[in-house]
Amino acid sequence: MHGEYKVPGGKLVVVDVEVEDGALRQVRVAGDFFLEPDEALDAVNRALEGAPASTDATGLAARIDAALPEGTVMYGVTSEGVGVAVRRALAQATDWADYEWQLIHDEPQSPALHMALDEVLTAEVAAGRRPPTLRVWEWGAPAVIIGSFQSLRNEVDLAGAARHGFEVVRRISGGGAMFVEPGNTITYSLSVPEALVQGLSFQDSYAYLDDWVLGALGDMGIRAWYQPLNDIATEAGKIAGAAQKRVVGPEGRPGAVLHHVTMSYDIDADKMLEVLRIGREKLSDKGTGSAGKRVDPLRRQTGLARETVIDNMIASFRDRYGLTPGKVTDEEMARAQELIRTKFATQAWTARVP
């Protein structure tokens, strides 16, 4: 079995392994990382040899740490990263390069339609009728998008939202509220086969699916990193938040993962405070007393137009993995419109957690 894992912010780890009688055998770790001294690699292989195949990534990392020679230096790789690569090998996970990726970047659309398209397109990937898809959103109206499990009245000042013309919708993924104004927000979705994140913990899957955008930001001169569980941050502050939803596939097929990210290109912090109910508890755990200081927009950090930032992100993804233009099919759009009518535009869904 063969597994690969790019350590977030680091290098590629490759593992080839066999399993005999429930134990790891013939373990070979390789990659473009740096490791000193040379014999440390043999120590890693020996540490994994004979480990129960059921051992999780943390347990495998502990075996490696206990076996490394004193003074070992690891650069671009971690013991945990090796453990994840082993788990991906055992799960027969796929890699980004195994797929033909499709890009959808359409005209501005309503917040409710964006919610519905996320659900429909990810279900189509799970059913095998659609290739893995990167969808870049354009917003047709200002909106507050609350997480699947958030309380509507606790998160949104409905009078403030109405006063400023904000539509309130609920998405299918968990996480926190998104404050969106057209022209001030960059949002994208990845609808990917479940096999792409096989062997990864829930937390690791966030870092793994965000890694390409960290590279794209780096190309624009921004040193960004993944901040558990679901944020992308820089030295200036948080610039993005991610959320995920696992979608079950049809009978006999694996599922798919929806991973979507909202990035703040610019933000009106005063207006946000009038629309969102951001509690002191949420602010205190970020080490700041001001919501405006929690998010640092990309416009200020890049000096680039929003459209240029988006073009650069798409180009970076295309250079890494390939990307062909696509579109929402008529059948997918019809299903999305039906979901708006029956779910995303209904009070029963939006206020399902009052």
**Cα separation, 240 vs 263, whole angstroms:** 4
> Where do we find the tokens 């508890």?
281
Where, residue-wise, is CATH 3.30.390.50 in the chain?
Answer: 2-90
- Residue ranges for the chain with pLDDT beneath 70: 279-294
The per-residue b/e assignment along 55-71, b for 16 or more CB within 10 angstroms, e otherwise, is bebeebbbbbeebbeee
**Cα separation, 192 vs 43, whole angstroms:** 35
Q: Where are the alpha helices (DSSP H) in 91-181?
A: 111-127, 152-155, 158-163
Phi then psi for residue 226, to 5 deg, are -80, 130
pLDDT at residue 294, as a whole number = 63
CA torsion angle 39 41 42 43 (round to 10):
90
**Cα separation, 250 vs 85, whole angstroms:** 28
pLDDT at residue 280, as a whole number = 46
pLDDT at residue 281, as a whole number = 47
Class of domain 2-90: alpha beta
> Which of 18, 210, 186 is CA-nearest to residue 96?
210
Superfamily of domain 96-350: Bira Bifunctional Protein; Domain 2 (3.30.930.10)
pLDDT at residue 328, as a whole number = 98
pLDDT at residue 286, as a whole number = 46
| pTM > 0.85 | yes
Where, residue-wise, is CATH 3.30.930.10 in the chain?
Answer: 96-350
Q: What is the DSSP string of 328-348?
A: --HHHHHHHHHHIIIIITSHH
